[in-house]
Amino acid sequence: MRFFAVALSLCLLAVPAAARTQFNAADQADLDKVSAYLNSIRTMKAGFIQTGPDGDDVQGRLYLVKPGRIRFEYEPPAPLLVVSDGKTVAVQNKELKTVDRYPISQTPLDIILGDSIDLKKNSEIVAVQHLQDELIVKAHTSNFGVHADIALIFAEPSLELRQWTVVDEQGTPTQVVLRDVQVGVNVPPSEFVLPRPSVLGIH
């Protein structure tokens, strides 16, 4: 389940909280720019390097097609595959030979898979910062029993999503760095076929 939470950590921003941070005009303009950038992405391919609290790295590939479809494909030795076909999110652990399924309506995926993103209206957003050549959007989320602080880091001035960092309620960080990001590319529908439980002999 930790792998699942990490893989979808970018998406945890989508569920509303009780309070909303009041942003000044400059911050609102930055959130508008980030929202427009996210809305402009219809398809994406990227590699990623995930660094856990223990300092160990795992690598993989990310594939995205809006609306609703995403694939986190981890390279060995990590046994995980996370796939959404637009209706269901499946988390396959090849080592344990298990596949867990979640209705997409019960997972906060709209932050990157929705057709209309407006971060100004997202009550999870708590801060906007500029650091050298980076624009950082910070959020605090508490959904489905998962509590975390999240920082989305965008390159400036190109405004490309560069990485995200999640700090869980125990204070342990997990960082995901994207590389070789390609947008507007063809992604075959076969990338979003859910793993079949019958093949693994599970239910």
Residue 166 confidence (pLDDT):
83
Mean pLDDT of 191-203: 68
CA distance 128 to 135: 7
User: What value does the mean pLDDT of the chain take?
Assistant: 83
Please name the residue that has the structure tokens 């609102």: 28
pLDDT digits (tens, 9 = 90+) for 108-166: 566 678 788 899 988 888 999 999 899 999 987 765 555 678 889 999 999 999 998 88
CATH number of the structural domain 2-187: 2.50.20.10
Residue 117 confidence (pLDDT):
87
pLDDT digits (tens, 9 = 90+) for 82-105: 999 998 989 899 999 999 888 876
Q: Which residue has the higher pLDDT, 144 or 65?
A: 65
Q: How confident is the model at residue 203 (pLDDT cuts 50, 70, 90)?
A: very low
* Domain residue spans of the chain: 2-187
pLDDT of 6 above 80: no
Q: How confident is the model at residue 52 (pLDDT cuts 50, 70, 90)?
A: confident
**Is the pTM value of this prediction over 0.85?**
no
Q: Where are the beta strands (DSSP E) in the chain?
A: 43-51, 57-65, 69-74, 80-85, 88-93, 98-103, 125-131, 134-143, 146-155, 161-168, 173-183
Q: Which helix (H) or strand (E) holds 72?
A: strand 69-74
